[in-house]
Amino acid sequence: MCLAIPGKVVEIYEENGLRMGRIDYGGVVNKACLEYVPEIEIGQYTIVHAGFAISILDEEEALKSFEAWQEMASAARAAGIPLGAEDPGPGDPAA
């Protein structure tokens, strides 16, 4: 019900007067209602709760975080800080 991971919209259609979409989670495809994300387009990522998409993930914001981390990592390397010695855990996309 509540552990939402991002999924990609691969199809948009209508059912009983509601805007619906097919959402791909790395190969597993589920349907979701898109009424609360009226601007969403095929190819964008969303978070689904209880069968409803609740947001359009903002790629620009995600890239900003990502770039900041890349900078952090290269600054650390330049300063000679050892990295990557410890894995924080298995990446379990099903969790």
Partner 1 sequence: MKYLEEFRDPEVARLYLEQLQAAVTRPWKIMEVCGGQTHAIMQYGIQELIPDKLTLLHGPGCPVCVTPLEQIDKAIAIAGQPDVIFTTFGDMLRVPGSEKDLFSVKADGGDVRVVYSPLDAVRIATDNPDKEVVFFAVGFETTAPANAMAVKQAAALGLANFSQIVAQVLVPPALEAILTAPGNQVQGFLAAGHVCTVMGYHEYEPIAARYKVPIVVTGFEPLDILEGILLVVRQLEAGRHEVENQYRRSVRRTGNEPAQDMIKAVYRVVPRQWRGIGEIPRSGLGLQAAYTAYDAEVKFQLGSIRTREPEVCISGEVLQGWKKPTDCPAFGKECTPDTPLGATMVSNEGTCAAYYRYMDPS
Query: What's the min distance (Å) between Cβ of 67 and partner 1?
Result: 11
Query: What's the min distance (Å) between Cβ of 53 and partner 1?
Result: 10
| Sites of contact with partner 1 (CB under 8 A) | 1-6, 16-18, 26, 30, 32-33, 35-38, 45, 47, 49-52, 54-55, 57-59, 61-66, 69, 72-73, 76, 81, 83-89, 91-93, 95
- Which residue matches tokens 């199809």? 11
Closest CA to 93 of 32, 24, 40, 37: 24
Q: Which whole-number Å values give the CA distances from 60 to 49, 56, 67, in the listed order? A: 23, 12, 10
